Amino acid sequence: MGKRPFKKSADEKTRRKRRIAIATAVLAFAVLIMPASAYYNWFGFPMQGEASDNADTAYNGTVANGTVNGGVYIGCGHGLDYTPYTQEFNVPEGTVKFAHLYVHVWHGTENYQGKLKVDYTNASGTYTLFANNTDAEGNLTLGGDQDNNNNVWTVTHGTTWVWFDVKGYVTSGANSATAYTYKVSSGFDGRVGAIKLVVVYENTSMNETRYWIVQGHDAVVYATGGHPAKDYGYAYFNGTINPDEWEYAMLYCTWIAGDVGDTDTLWFNGHLLDGSCTNYEQGAYLDSRWYIVKNDTINYLVSNDNYARYWRDGDNYVHWVGADLVLFKEAPRPDLVVREIADPKLVDHDLTHGIVVGHNYVVNATIVNQGTGDTKKSFNATLYENNVAKQTVNVVALENNSAIVSFNWCPSSSGTVTLKVIADSLGEINESDETNNVTSKVVYVHPYNASDPDLVMTADDLVFLPAYAFHTANNDTRIRINVTNNGTGDASNFWVRVYNDSTEICNRSMGTVAAKGGKVIYCDYDAPYGGPYPIKVVLDA
């Protein structure tokens, strides 16, 4: 990938009309005979005004604004990559009041066209997102400088930012979105630079939050292709507030195609927030982050019409694609929960068929910060067996507000056992809810019986893998064998032999397969063309 995948030379065309899709059958003929119009602008669609007032042109501007007992969740990632491109999110508990999903797509030039399909996965399943002009399979044609979709903003040399209303799809907990792109023009690039989710949620146990969700696609670019330079952009948060009513305030911004090393600046109400914007590179050509604009030491809020300004300095071009202002009655705090305790896995084994006393297992727990504040320091998590502490692990950071923490566990008692994981077990983090750090999982532990190993195989434990996947040069066939010990005693020092009819074709000496465990071994066989071959595997041969 070159240094600048968003820079291409091409003729520039500016069109800002939009074809309105009318569902009413009586008006369908009138709509169909209207001339096709483009939804493209070289300089983009600034984050100004009310989106509802801009509905005839672009639906850019403030798309949601209000006060809620709850919060605003924003997740964004993870940099330019090929599709399928999946981004995961962890949405806090609450009732969804607003939710928009945004996807960036790079065309190559504004002359290249392609298609975009987005699948959204929540707690109940996976759903294809639809908007005006998507086909029956959910494909949205991205027309470049000829685009006519009313949820697409395409600017400059083919950088597109697409939005979907996903209020009906977002659920609390784990969510994800996957983008797929397809070529219409042979030169269409199709890489995705980011997927962003913005959710306003209501939770009556929380204090008030005031918010402005401002959407658009503002291209701040140098002079090229007959277009003058555009050196700055503004985002407005219209309305009147009393700054003294709000203890804490944060501004969230997202940029595409910034260049590390340049000295672009971000300002809020005339105060410098950042003198090196887009140098953070959350992912390739993506920067998305929070800025504090009020806390116990600073207060940049004003009573009327707060605003942010981005000033281009060294960057040739930057795409500013989101500005969100959130005010809090009290400073946001993290809220750590243990989302899941996975089934224990037997150490040094490929398969785990049960749990046996005295054996070593890994227990993975997913810890999530579902609060509105970050965890600014490390904390401890502890695994318990029947209320007896087994191991404490230090958690250094929660990447994207989530982490999988691994514990080592050697069960000491048989029967029904309760595993418990406590996040922040030493109480080091000041949380909004200190009562929800615990999750439990009930498992059954078999007693160990040294005289009870039981080596077993089923038809599913013998798999023939394609020759080309492993040994193209010699055309060997790879045979995968699951060696399972279903007993409660360990099986040690035995052989696995593989036969073609009565002829041995390979063998393996096994060390130990632990009780209720399994290991995977492979046998490569140079089978002559033809067959069939009566392959037989004997354990403990």
Tens of pLDDT, residue by residue over 485-496, are 999 999 999 999
How far are the Cα atoms of 76, 455, 537, 538 from residue 485, in angstroms, in the given order? 45, 4, 15, 13
- Three-class DSSP category at 244: helix
Secondary structure tally for the chain: helices H, strands E: 1, 37
Distance of CA 100 to the CA centre of its chain: 15
What CATH class is the domain 455-539?
A: mainly beta
Tens of pLDDT, residue by residue over 215-248, are 998 888 888 878 888 888 999 999 999 999 999 9
Please give the pLDDT value at position 202. Answer: 97
How far are the Cα atoms of 73, 161, 256, 263, 295 from residue 164, in angstroms, in the given order? 16, 10, 18, 33, 33
Please give the pLDDT value at position 23. Answer: 29
pLDDT band at 133 (very low <50, low <70, confident <90, very high): confident
In this predicted structure, the answer to whether residue 261 has a pLDDT above a threshold of 80 is no
- H/E stretch holding 30: helix 28-32
Please give the pLDDT value at position 21. Answer: 30
* Dihedral sign computed on CA atoms, order 393, 394, 397, 398: positive
In this predicted structure, the answer to whether residue 471 has a pLDDT above a threshold of 50 is no
**For tokens 């599709």, what's the residue?**
83
In this predicted structure, the answer to whether residue 338 has a pLDDT above a threshold of 50 is yes
**Does residue 45 or residue 182 have the better pLDDT?**
182
Contact 211, 200 (CB under 8 A): yes
Please give the pLDDT value at position 26. Answer: 28
How many CB atoms are closer than 10 A to CB 199? 26
Please give the pLDDT value at position 28. Answer: 28
Token couple for 370: 């579902």
**Does residue 293 or residue 225 have the better pLDDT?**
293
- What does pLDDT average to over the chain? 86
Rounded CA gap, 148 and 36, in Å?
7
Q: Closest Cα partner for 170 from 116, 104, 101, 216?
A: 101
Q: Please, what is the end-to-end C-alpha distance for the chain in angstroms?
A: 54
In this predicted structure, the answer to whether residue 415 has a pLDDT above a threshold of 80 is yes
Burial of residue 489 (number of CB atoms within 10 Å: 0-12, 13-18, 19+): middle
- Three-class DSSP category at 467: helix
Can you tell me the mean pLDDT for 387-399?
91
In this predicted structure, the answer to whether residue 126 has a pLDDT above a threshold of 60 is yes
**Does residue 264 or residue 176 have the better pLDDT?**
176
Lowest mean pLDDT among 94-98, 232-236, 465-469: 465-469
Lowest mean pLDDT among 134-148, 198-212, 247-261: 247-261
* Range 336-446 has CATH code 2.60.40.10: yes
In this predicted structure, the answer to whether residue 533 has a pLDDT above a threshold of 90 is no
Question: For the whole model, what pTM was predicted?
Answer: 0.69
Can you tell me the mean pLDDT for 292-300?
95
**Does residue 313 or residue 28 have the better pLDDT?**
313
**Does residue 27 or residue 335 have the better pLDDT?**
335
Cα angle 232-235-241, degrees, rounded to a multiple of 5: 140
pLDDT band at 279 (very low <50, low <70, confident <90, very high): low
Domain boundaries, the chain: 25-328, 336-446, 455-539
In this predicted structure, the answer to whether residue 530 has a pLDDT above a threshold of 80 is no
Contact 163, 32 (CB under 8 A): no
Please give the pLDDT value at position 15. Answer: 33
Fold: same for 336-446 and 455-539: yes
pLDDT band at 440 (very low <50, low <70, confident <90, very high): very high
Please give the pLDDT value at position 450. Answer: 97
Contact 314, 331 (CB under 8 A): no
**Residue 477 β-bridge partners:** 525
Residue type, 1: M
In this predicted structure, the answer to whether residue 480 has a pLDDT above a threshold of 70 is yes
How far are the Cα atoms of 132, 149, 268, 329, 496 from residue 23, in angstroms, in the given order? 10, 15, 42, 43, 67
